[in-house]
Amino acid sequence: MRWHYLPNLITILRIILIVPVCYNIVQDRFLPALYFLILAGLSDGLDGYLARRFNWQTRLGSLLDPLADKLMVISCFTALTWVQAIPLWLFIIILLKDIIVVTGAIIYHFFIASYEFSATLLSKLNTFLQILFLVTVVIKMQFASIPNILILALMYVMLLTTLGCTLDYIWIWSKKAYTHVRKSHD
């Protein structure tokens, strides 16, 4: 095995971990779900560290890593909505943001120009807050020791960054599209 593929294999493991996380959530087994979530989080840090530290970054990894994050987040939001641990409207907002961003990227790629995806700082903050929110909700479902006010505060901060992130991507990609179209007409 070539070592430079190790970060990608770890990312694939993180994608596979979605199944036991969500299965345990829908079975109301929140402690095992929490353990799998923690393992997924550690694997996310490890694959990124290895890729940067040893210069093992690949095009596949640059696509797989954000995909793994999005799949984990959307799957966990789906499972937690299913067991009524979070409201449906919250799930819809999170899902709509990802649909808007992915649709915009696809439209840009196929109708304007090829692109290299790069997450913004706000996007990284939003993903972090989404994962923190999910972990906090799972902990609350297991131990019931987290005050509701903390969950609500985290939820609304996450919603603000979700809205900001959506608008940020719309602005960035609209600006890139305008600039590209304008250059091609000059």
DSSP 48-87: HHHHHHTT---HHHHHHHHHHHHHHHHHHHHHHHHTTSS-
Q: Encode pLDDT of 126-167 as tens digits.
A: 988 999 999 999 999 998 888 999 999 999 999 999 999 999
Q: How far apart are CA 18 and CA 175, in angstroms?
A: 35
Residues 6 or more apart whose CB falls under 8 angstroms from that of 72 comprise 14, 15, 17, 18, 21, 40, 131
* pLDDT at residue 157 in the model: 96
One-letter amino acid identity for 61?
G
Which residues constitute the domain of residue 60? 3-185
Residue 116 scores a pLDDT above 70: no
Q: Encode pLDDT of 47-71 as tens digits.
A: 888 888 888 888 787 888 888 988 9
Query: How many domains does the chain fold into?
Result: 1
Q: What is the mean pLDDT of the chain?
A: 89
Domain at 101, CATH number: 1.20.120.1760
* pLDDT at residue 18 in the model: 96
Share of the chain above pLDDT 70, in %: 97
* pLDDT at residue 56 in the model: 81
Q: What is the pTM of this model?
A: 0.86
Give the SS3 label for residue 125. helix
* pLDDT at residue 142 in the model: 92
Q: Of the ranges 19-28, 31-40, 173-182, which one carries the lowest mean pLDDT score?
A: 173-182
Q: How far apart are CA 115 and CA 99, in angstroms?
A: 18
- 80 — pLDDT class (breaks 50, 70, 90): very high
Query: What tokens appear for 39 in the block?
Result: 């393992």
Residue 169 scores a pLDDT above 80: yes
Q: Encode pLDDT of 85-109 as tens digits.
A: 999 999 999 999 989 888 888 888 7
* pLDDT at residue 117 in the model: 67
Q: What is the 3-state secondary structure (H, E, C) of 129-168?
A: HHHHHHHHHHHHHHHCCCCHHHHHHHHHHHHHHHHHHHHH
One-letter amino acid identity for 161?
T
* pLDDT at residue 155 in the model: 96
Q: In Å, how far are 58, 87, 127, 137 from 41, measured between CA atoms?
A: 20, 24, 12, 15
